[in-house]
Amino acid sequence: MSRNRTADRRRRKRTTALRLLAAPALLAAVICAAALAMGQEDGAQVAKQAVPTPSVSTSPAAPTASPSASPSESETDSAVSVAATATALAIPVPSTGPGSFRTASAGAVHAATAGKGTVLRYKVQVEKGIAVDADEAAEEVVAILADKRGWTANGRNGFKLVSSGKSDFVVKIATPGTVDKLCGAVGLKTYGKVNCRAGASVVVNLRRWVDGSPEFDGTIGDYHALIVNHEVGHRLGHGHLTCAGKGKLAPVMMQQIKGLKGCKANAWPYDEDGDYISGPAES
């Protein structure tokens, strides 16, 4: 009887010891499995974030801000990654802002007139509370409008940055929520994702300024040029064009985001030789 009790005690001790030995291994296995599941979930989330949900931009063709029925140079629904992601700006994009703006100063160099003929005075404004410097943004816009491939190439258009007084148009960089309000005021839906031109305002969505655009095969700087040149082109009275033929440069007034139709992506109204990049009117 005593021997049986002793054997039972030994068996219980061995069982307890085995359980104690197995517990850490089991716990480690559970932790590893949980970490793997979390990693897979995080990876799925990153994958989703890496593919932006583009939308349709709208740009009325007249300065009086009648809404355009067709999308302009921004986004349509697409699963294509942002081409400029590798060079995207490291700037946070808040969903909305105060709706008030800082106006860039017009220094001695930037105040100079670019081009000849009819000179349009313009301002560059950046919504308060976002990490984009108004003067630096103005410097980029000035360079775009003064570029030899820009709208000054025809000798009939000129541009002058101003910081006060009257202006013929304003380039506004704003948070998605503020863009929706500004564009919505003239009947345009931007869905927190895209740009528009509302009357005399070229309204640039901060999300696009930072991340670029799906399907645009170029640097973030090139995409900035496309935004400015396309929308200022509308301000100059230019309507939408389409591709002139396979392998040719897409007109800057083409809604390139809807598909290149065989053309090559392009951010400028004129080529290096000063020839206007045209195409048939969009039907």
Mean pLDDT of the chain: 75
Determine the average pLDDT of the residues in 114-125.
95
| pLDDT tens-digit series, residues 124-133 | 999 999 999 9
Q: Is 169's pLDDT higher than 80? A: yes
Confidence of residue 63 (pLDDT cuts 50, 70, 90): very low
Looking at residue 270, what DSSP letter applies?
B
| pLDDT tens-digit series, residues 211-248 | 887 777 788 999 999 999 998 999 999 999 999 999 99
Amino acid at 92: P
Q: Is 94's pLDDT higher than 90? A: yes
Q: Is 95's pLDDT higher than 90? A: yes
Tokens coding 68:
């355009």
* Residue 31 backbone class (left: φ over 0; alpha: ψ -120 to 50; beta: rest): alpha
Strand partners, 120: 159
Q: What is the pLDDT of residue 272?
A: 93
103 or 22, greater pLDDT = 103
Q: Is 185's pLDDT higher than 90? A: yes
Q: Is 191's pLDDT higher than 50? A: yes
219 or 178, greater pLDDT = 178
Tell me the CA end-to-end span of the chain in Å, nearest whole number: 102
Contact between 148 and 233 under an 8 Å Cβ cutoff? The reply is no
Other residues' Cβ atoms within 10 Å of the Cβ of residue 134:
21
Tokens coding 88:
């995207």
Q: What is the pLDDT of residue 206?
A: 95
193 or 270, greater pLDDT = 270
Q: What is the pLDDT of residue 259?
A: 77
Confidence of residue 257 (pLDDT cuts 50, 70, 90): confident
What phi and psi, each to the nearest 5 degrees, are found at residue 34?
Answer: -65, -40
One CATH from 1.50.10, 3.40.390, 1.10.357, 1.10.8 for 85-258: 3.40.390
Q: What is the pLDDT of residue 247?
A: 95
Confidence of residue 53 (pLDDT cuts 50, 70, 90): very low
Q: Is 39's pLDDT higher than 60? A: no
Strand partners, 198: 201
Tokens coding 21:
């030995």
Q: Is 165's pLDDT higher than 70? A: yes
Contact between 212 and 83 under an 8 Å Cβ cutoff? The reply is yes
> In the chain, what are the domain boundaries?
1-48, 85-258
